[in-house]
Amino acid sequence: MKIAIAQINPRVGDISGNTRMIEDYARKAQAAGADLAVFPELTLTGYPPLDLLERNNFIDANLKALKGLAALKLKIALAVGFADRNPAKKGKPLHNAIALIEGGRIAAVRHKSLLPTYDIFDEARYFEPAAENKPLNFRGTVIGLTVCEDIWAGTTLLPSRLLYRNNPAKTLCAGKASIIINISASPFFTGKSRLRLKILSGLAKRTKSHIIYVNQAGANDELIFDGNSFALSPTGKVTARATAFARDLVILDTNAAGAAAVPALEQQETAEVCAALTLGIRDYFSKLGFTKAVLGLSGGIDSAVVAALAARAVGPLNVTGVMMPSEYTSPQSGKDALRLAGNLGIKTKNIPIKKIYRAFLDRLAEDDGSGEVSLTMQNLQARTRGSLLMALANSNGALALATGNKSEIAVGYCTLYGDTAGAIAPIADLFKTEVYRLAEYLNREGEIIPPAIIKRPPTAELKPGQRDQDDLPPYETLDEILRLYLEENKSLPEIVRLGFESGLVLSVLKRVESNEYKRKQLPVALKVTEKSFGYGRKMPIVKTLDFIN
C-alpha cells in the first residue's frame, strides 16, 4: 500500500484555509499514486483550539468542512483529524477524532481513547474518551487509526506515574491490524524527536506492525511542532521520514522490499533549538499577519541572539534594533550593537533616554543627589525603554520582541513593563548558559554575533559598574539549580545533596517562588524544554513559601 505522510502546518481556527491545504496535499499525493494520505491531529481546527471548541458554530464549521472533503470524491483516501460531537447524553460534548474518507463518503470514524491532562495538555476539559477502538479493513488490509496519545500508552514518553487503563495500539494489533496509523500534534522539546523514534521503533518490533506517525509542523502561540513524521517497518526500521520544522509530503510503500535512503535526524540539540525558535517566531508573525519586528538592542548577549533569530525568521530588512543608551551605557555596548546589526543586515535606530529618564526623576523627586541609583531608578530606565519600544511597534505596524532568558525570568531579574514588554519572548525558555551555546552555534560558519558580546560579562547597565553577578550567582551555578528545581522538581534538600550550598539554594528557590506574579504578566514564551513557563506550569501567585524547606 502506498501511503502519503502529509506533514502540514494548520492554523488554529482557520477551518477553510486548513481545508484548502488538505485538498492541495491530497491532490499531490493522488498524483503520486498514493492510496491513502494521512494528516495530523485536529487538522481541520488547528491545534490546540482550546476554548474555540466550546463554540457550536466552530464545531459545525469543522464538520461541514469534513463533509466537503468527502464530496470531492477523490480517488485517494484521506485520514483527517477533526472535532466530532459526542452523541451520548452524558460526558463531555466532543470527541477528538480521526475520519477515514473514501469513495466520496466518510467511511469510518475513530475517537481518541487516551486524553492527556499533564504539562500543557488539558484535553479532558473538552473531550470524552472513546470506549473502544476497533481495527478496520481498508482495501484488503487491516489497519488501526489512532490519535496522538493513543500510541504512547505504557511507554517512557509519558510521565513516570501515568498509567492508562487501556492500550489502544496493543488492542488494535491483537485485532490483526498490520498497519497502525497515528495522527499527532506533538509539541517540540529538545530531544523529543529522537525519543519518539526510539519508543515507536520498539513498539513496531513488539507488535510486528507497520507504524505511520504523522505530526504537524509549525507553531501556534508558544507551542512549536517539529514535524519529523516517519514510517516504520515491522522490524522497527525507518522506511520514510519527513523533514524537520517544515511542511512536507512523503510517499512510502508498505509492500516495498527495500526502503529508499532516509534522511538522518538532526543530532545537534542546539541546531534543533535554533530551528524551533526560528519557526516559532516566523509562524507567530505570519499567522497574526505581521511582517516587521522591533527589539531593544543593548549590546548584550540576549538581545543579540534574539535579533539573529528574528532576522532568520522574518528577514533582516524587517527587523529594527533600537539602541536606547542611558548615561550608564558604555561606548562599547553601542559599538557592539552596531557591529551586530551590520553582521545581520538589520536596521537600527538610536534614541538616547537620558532626558526622558531625568524628566521622570524630576517629577518623582526620586534622585536625592547622593549618586546612589536606587532600584526604582533602575527599573525606570527599563520602563522608559519598554514604552519607547512599544510606541515604535505601534507606529510601524510591528511586533516587539522581549529579550529576557529563563534564568532572569525564573528569579525575577527583570522589570515588568520594561525589558519584559513585547508580544513574544523567543528565548524565555532558554537558560543563560543555553543562550551562550546558541550564540556559538549561530557563529559556526562565521561571525554573526561579535565575540566581544559573547566574552563580555553580562550587565544590565542600569547603574555604574553593574554586573549581573553582583545580584546573582554565576550563571553556571544558577542555571543548574534552576534546572533541578524547575525541570526535575528536586526539593531543596535533594539539590543540596548534589553539592550546592544550602543558603544559596534557599535564596534561589525563594526568588523563583516570590516572582510568580511577574511571570503571569510576561509575553508568550516559545517552548523548547519539557518544563517551560506559561500554561504548562501552573503555580499560585499568592502562597506561603514554607513548602520550599
Domains in the chain with CATH codes: 2-256 (3.60.110.10), 273-548 (3.40.50.620)
Whether 536 shows a pLDDT value over 90: the answer reads: no
Residue 36 φ then ψ, to 5°? -145, 135
Q: Say how far apart CA 366 and CA 377 lie, in whole Å.
A: 7
Q: Please provide the DSSP assignment of 2-20 as one string.
A: EEEEEE----TT-HHHHHH
C-alpha to C-alpha distance for 272 and 275, rounded to whole angstroms? 5
pLDDT band at 28 (very low <50, low <70, confident <90, very high): very high
Residue type, 237: K
Rounded Cα gap, residues 310 and 154, in angstroms: 40
Q: What's the mean pLDDT in 195-222?
A: 94
Residue-wise pLDDT for 310-345, tens only, equals 999 999 999 999 999 999 999 999 999 999 999 999
The grid coordinates of residue 384 equal: 522608559
Catalytic residue numbers? 41, 112, 148
What was the pLDDT predicted at 257? 60
Q: What is the DSSP string of 176-214?
A: T-SEEEEEE--B--TTHHHHHHHHHHHHHHHHT-EEEEE
Q: Kindly state the average pLDDT of the residues 464-490.
A: 92
Residue 390: count of CB within 10 angstroms of its CB: 17
Where is average pLDDT lowest: 57-66, 385-394, 463-472, 517-526? 463-472
Q: Which helix (H) or strand (E) holds 408?
A: helix 406-411
* Model confidence pLDDT, tens digit, residues 63-120: 999 999 999 999 999 999 999 999 998 999 999 999 999 999 999 999 999 998 888 8
Q: State which amino acid sits at residue 505.
A: V
CB 478 within 8 A of CB 486: no
Query: What is the phi/psi pair of residue 93, to 5°?
Result: -75, -10
pLDDT band at 184 (very low <50, low <70, confident <90, very high): very high
At 369 the pLDDT is: 79
Does the model's pTM come out above 0.75? yes
| The pLDDT of residue 204 is above 80 | yes
Q: Of all residues in the chain, what percent are helix, strand and coil, respectively (each to 5)?
A: 40, 20, 40
| pLDDT tens-digit readout, 399-429 | 999 999 999 999 999 999 999 999 999 999 9
Q: Please tell me the distance from the alpha carbon of residue 19 to that of residue 23, in angstroms, as a whole number.
A: 6
What pLDDT shows up at residue 135? 95
474 backbone dihedrals φ, ψ, rounded to 5°: -50, 140
Secondary structure of 475-540 in the HEC alphabet? HHHHHHHHHHHHHCCCCHHHHHHCCCCHHHHHHHHHHHHHCHHHHCCCCEECCCCCCCCCCCCCCC
Split at pLDDT 50, 70, 90, the class of 263 is low
Greater confidence (548 vs 145) lies with 145
Q: Is 107 helix (H, G, I), strand (E, B) or coil?
A: strand
Segment 138-152 mean pLDDT: 94
